[in-house]
Structure 1
């Protein structure tokens, strides 16, 4: 049975984020109806529309047509999920969100406001990845040559908002299975930004912003891309002491560890005073051999490494085809459309692309009456998160797996981080993504430790493993082994490249995947490949794994059946380029960047003003140039012959306040570029629980970290999440699992289990 069998969804949104929620629901079997006005979704002209709206049925409902508006009201009465941008969108049709929730007790209303609920700080209030990223600190956090803010060629913030909103919606439906009641779920553009930039927003609020003038390869001298002797580029995944040391050995640079500036270990590589000389020494070494030679040498040493590739061939890559991430759809408007597939592989309830995007109003006269499905009003229980009462075990280190645990904990689940007795080796760098977890530090290589782990799993709902394919089998923690303890277990296996295909046994990390899938080339254009400072693939895969868990649990709740589920960094990387990888005969070319990319057009880019930078975006009506020219006093001839130069000159004469006032008067969407230190002081964001602040263990400093990632009207979790110490909860977890006290004591006494203490709260030097 499909996960969303018999689930009805009304999608009233346009653009990117909202339609992506509907796309996921359609892929996994829901009946999704896309509701548009006569003018249609503004994104219909974009290639990605064909992917973001696939498998849906389409209707047109004019706001001034009483009969069609009445029809929409009846459909809402029978829907399970209603996706909207915000309350204003419902008001167009005479609908009120709170009244709908009161009258239709099982309805889940999902809101995706472009910035904050009820407030968008740019003219027009339309969804904008670029304005959100600029105002929210992402653009100025990007590593660059100049240290100025940099635009991305991808609307990553919107891809993450749509994905995370889907996770939250499925969690609300899962809670509804037991309570019988729906609720309102709000995932704003700011929430999407928080999910994407979790580590970047985890800072000492009293410390200065880190310098971003470190080059397009980023901060880390070993975890980046390198030019090789044959003129090609490779992406190196040498992150963490183990791999950094191995890289220096392969390069013949082990003597660097003897340099007093590194103090005998690789942690000093990312210290500001060491960046220049360490980068030069390592980069020069790579010029001594070809790309193929270095890839063979690094992979031979266990270091993830690939040749940097172009985006255009990604969907034809053998590994992408192997995991089903290339789909071909026959579209009545566009002809043959090649698009990314479904990024989560479920064995018992697989998703699939169920058809093309609908033509405007294609099904307006053929959709049956839904009225009467959602039931009578009900007072649902109040709980600390829609996943309250669920228990999830996670295994795996670094970023993506722990972060998946954090997101599930944010939704109220009890999440147990299982790590080696010495702890996750990346803990020092990963304060942000380990928050909200409980730690069980145990030796799974020993029979006694493995038996204890199986007993813990017997009382859990799901396991997320972030290990290479084959490692779980070798350790005896694969699903086949775990089923003996828990036959209905949901197991999500997160890997770099997927569970099948020619690369499935290889290890991979975010930067390597950026290079392989074409992201680096697309961001850098004709210049050097540009590394995204944000761990986009790790962070989004964490949300993808959280989605896999909630999908698996919902299916189990409805059928009693557990299952094995697979996701991967490359499947997520494909999803994160869904609009850019969708191709058909008349598809527009996707945007290509360059060094310190300011934006794709003269009316859609960053400009420097006297005291800082601003970002302007085009108006949907297409008259941005005329309005700018009139407001800034630019001659029409100059706007035609040298528009970028003329605008640069005009803005350079203005302060940011003057520029913003002028742009507001001209009704041109625009924001001021902000650094992270400014964002975390925004009163509106603080009021919305954008941050939670806790004291560091030194008693003198503070740690600010993302706060409320989503809002639930009835099942909201609240309060700061704190990362655990290594093995801090080992005794309690084992006791909860039913192990006798003397057995637990023996495991601790023999060193098979670490009985730890709370973490010393501190933030390491930024490595990206």
Structure 2
């Protein structure tokens, strides 16, 4: 059985983000038909096509052919989901097709505009990772040697866009199980930016943007990559406990005893201390081999890893063990090695069954039967498509809490289950903890476990980010919880996944970037570069919500729960899908370099008179792009950079756009947060801080035409909702009082609204 058996999807899209939606739906059993014009999807020649279109069928539709239009009209009437990428509308395929979609009241129409619906900062509604990163502030936030924007050799934001849009589509399917009605789900590229840069968009816009000319390692002295005597290693020492442990293991007690530090590791981040602290620690690493350092990290229990190449990753034994390296027969490419499915539903798993289809290989298949008409009495409006779902979230640090926030953004009732002293990452994680209620409880005590079982009896989902085996040890794993709640869906996040030689080992984003090849591919032939975004953490948060909605959707249809799990290394593999896929004859994937501005003059950052712009003419062949440049007086590629340098950003971008070339200013984060259009569209929310200042947080993460949740979400204080949560689970007041008196449960006040210190 598959989670999406019987779901019928028409995928009209091209490129990366929207085809990823079809890919995930097909992975989990949906019948996905890729609708293509006679000339085929223009992305067919790109390596990522083999991944993003696996498990799909292909039907060619010529809109000038009456029979083809009739087939398409009938298929739309019978579809559950229609996928439209940037710049696409159903009316492009004919008025009859658009009318058929309106008649299908159960249809979910997924729209993925390149930026936001009706807003095209680079001149057209089209998809581009570089243009998105420039307009959304991600590129200028990246640490570098000289400052200025940095381009990415991997399309991380498009991968985030696709994963989150898939989640929203499945959430709409969940809601449809109750209402019987479809709706339009619109998730733009800016919403993908919100996933990737959720932390870096949480700043005070009245404070100047912090400098980024820190070098490729970022701003933290121990949570970063280091050169050793024979290579590079990445350290996961983040937080006072681990920072102290590492410095002592390296014999750097004098640094800790220095009166400028006095044993308080947070003082290492002060601007006046950073230079000498960094040099001291770097010298200690350079004096040791990578193997010596890995042994030290293993002894003190801190994640660390060797910086490796991207080419090695799909051959890694741990990657293979969790099913993230898959070989399929492709009808056009032969044997293809590609990333597998990054989330695991143990009862209804996703599978890579077939390679990408040949153009038109399924043309002539019968259209699906039409969906039934939904009566007006069945109309249902709710605040969020997941309204009614109750989740117990035991996740800590970034990915787990972020998943809880995203579930709350979709309307779920999410309860953050915390240790008595709270999630240790709370001071730096305001934005990730929004929208959840909080209960502080000691799960190591028998009374605490009993109380948790009472909570789980009334929950739909339990999620954790503990190492494999810890939930079983506590007696609150799937097997134990399903005894009292057979419909429970449990999800577990770990670093290395379940199975393989590294199961149970600790792992953090900075180390994943190193071992998976992300750092080396960004740095190219130069120093390995750490992504300023915790890209594996935040994407894992989004993928966790996708996993939960798939498991919950299947439970609604079958009445049976299941156990699910995912991993940071699974996410790191997914995030490099087009770059990792292998087959004979594939072109070499893009790699970066020192302060990488882009792979080609027609696809890169160019310095203007008052900043930077990003030009992306990769949608055109070079001859056509040059012809358009000549229309505005740029005769050769060699003259392009000088021409741009003499204009302001707005002049250069506007002139290039007038010639039909995509270009946009590279904005810093404060510019993004001050964008009146983003504020008007509820993309940016402002909060009043306890010290009287204010700060911004990412707001709305997508649009549902019928079930939109609105308004800002706030984090609860540790244990703020302990009593009401236990009361809702059926515990008597006397029992609750006893739990509080025995310090098994704690009751706290409201969260103080403060902005955490940036550590990347």
CA contact (8 A) 1:240 1:425 kept: no
Are 1:741 and 2:721 an aligned pair? no
Following superposition, the deviation at residue 135 of structure 1 comes to 0.8
Inter-partner Cα distance in structure 1 for 2:194 and 2:109: 21
Following superposition, the deviation at residue 261 of structure 1 comes to 3.3
Matches within 5 A, 1:502-513: 502-513=501-512
Inter-partner Cα distance in structure 2 for 1:714 and 1:625: 42
CA contact (8 A) 1:463 1:489 kept: yes
Aligned equivalent of 2:600: 601
Which 10-residue stretch deviates more, 34-43 or 397-406? Answer: 34-43
Following superposition, the deviation at residue 198 of structure 1 comes to 0.7
Following superposition, the deviation at residue 619 of structure 1 comes to 5.0
Aligned equivalent of 1:567: 566
CA contact (8 A) 2:87 2:114 kept: no
CA contact (8 A) 2:308 2:517 kept: yes
Aligned equivalent of 1:316: 315
Following superposition, the deviation at residue 759 of structure 1 comes to 0.8
Matches within 5 A, 1:85-96: 85=85, 88-95=88-95
Following superposition, the deviation at residue 346 of structure 1 comes to 1.4
Inter-partner Cα distance in structure 2 for 1:672 and 1:759: 37
Aligned equivalent of 1:358: 357
Following superposition, the deviation at residue 97 of structure 1 comes to 9.2
Inter-partner Cα distance in structure 2 for 1:99 and 1:686: 34
Aligned equivalent of 2:643: 650
Aligned equivalent of 1:620: 619
Aligned equivalent of 1:179: 179
Aligned equivalent of 1:28: 28
1:474 partner SS:
helix
Inter-partner Cα distance in structure 2 for 1:106 and 1:615: 41
Aligned equivalent of 2:410: 411
Aligned equivalent of 2:45: 45
CA contact (8 A) 1:631 1:662 kept: no
Matches within 5 A, 1:28-107: 28-85=28-85, 88-95=88-95, 102-107=102-107
Inter-partner Cα distance in structure 2 for 1:762 and 1:295: 37
Aligned equivalent of 1:152: 152
2:462 partner SS:
strand
Aligned equivalent of 1:122: 122
1:358 partner SS:
coil
Matches within 5 A, 1:362-761: 362-365=361-364, 367-376=365-374, 378=376, 379-622=378-621, 623=623, 625-627=625-627, 629-631=629-631, 633-636=633-636, 639=637, 643=638, 646-698=639-691, 700-761=692-753
Which 10-residue stretch deviates more, 10-19 or 36-45? Answer: 36-45
Inter-partner Cα distance in structure 2 for 1:761 and 1:271: 23
Q: Structure 1 residues 236, 136: closer, same or farther in 2, change over 3 A?
A: same
Inter-partner Cα distance in structure 1 for 2:26 and 2:270: 47
The CA deviation string for residues 457-493 of structure 1, in whole angstroms up to 9 with x for no partner, is 1111011110111221222222122223322211111
Inter-partner Cα distance in structure 2 for 1:302 and 1:100: 60
Inter-partner Cα distance in structure 1 for 2:617 and 2:428: 39
CA contact (8 A) 2:602 2:618 kept: no
Following superposition, the deviation at residue 86 of structure 1 comes to 5.9
Inter-partner Cα distance in structure 2 for 1:456 and 1:254: 46
2:273 partner SS:
helix
Q: CA RMSD in A?
A: 1.6
CA contact (8 A) 2:146 2:595 kept: yes
The CA deviation string for residues 254-278 of structure 1, in whole angstroms up to 9 with x for no partner, is 3333334335322223333332222
Following superposition, the deviation at residue 538 of structure 1 comes to 0.3
Are 1:336 and 2:332 an aligned pair? no
Following superposition, the deviation at residue 575 of structure 1 comes to 0.4
Inter-partner Cα distance in structure 2 for 1:64 and 1:591: 39
The CA deviation string for residues 211-236 of structure 1, in whole angstroms up to 9 with x for no partner, is 11111011111111111122x11111
The CA deviation string for residues 298-327 of structure 1, in whole angstroms up to 9 with x for no partner, is 121110011111110101100000001111
The CA deviation string for residues 405-449 of structure 1, in whole angstroms up to 9 with x for no partner, is 111111111111111101111111111111111111111111111
Q: Structure 1 residues 491, 584: closer, same or farther in 2, change over 3 A?
A: same
Which 10-residue stretch deviates more, 627-636 or 180-189? Answer: 627-636
Inter-partner Cα distance in structure 2 for 1:241 and 1:95: 62
After TM superposition, the runs of 4+ consecutive aligned structure 1 residues lying more than 4 A away are 95-102
CA contact (8 A) 2:86 2:126 kept: no
Aligned equivalent of 1:196: 196
Following superposition, the deviation at residue 377 of structure 1 comes to 5.5
Inter-partner Cα distance in structure 1 for 2:272 and 2:409: 37
Aligned equivalent of 2:255: 256
Q: Structure 1 residues 634, 245: closer, same or farther in 2, change over 3 A?
A: same
CA contact (8 A) 2:73 2:96 kept: no
Inter-partner Cα distance in structure 2 for 1:396 and 1:191: 23
Are 1:287 and 2:286 an aligned pair? yes
CA contact (8 A) 1:53 1:358 kept: yes
Following superposition, the deviation at residue 100 of structure 1 comes to 5.2
Following superposition, the deviation at residue 658 of structure 1 comes to 2.5
Inter-partner Cα distance in structure 2 for 1:64 and 1:696: 59
Are 1:298 and 2:297 an aligned pair? yes
Inter-partner Cα distance in structure 1 for 2:714 and 2:658: 45
CA contact (8 A) 1:319 1:503 kept: yes
Q: Structure 1 residues 398, 31: closer, same or farther in 2, change over 3 A?
A: same
The CA deviation string for residues 66-117 of structure 1, in whole angstroms up to 9 with x for no partner, is 3312221110000001111268521211248985564211111111011111
Inter-partner Cα distance in structure 2 for 1:252 and 1:227: 18
Are 1:11 and 2:11 an aligned pair? yes
Inter-partner Cα distance in structure 2 for 1:217 and 1:467: 28
CA contact (8 A) 1:235 1:308 kept: yes
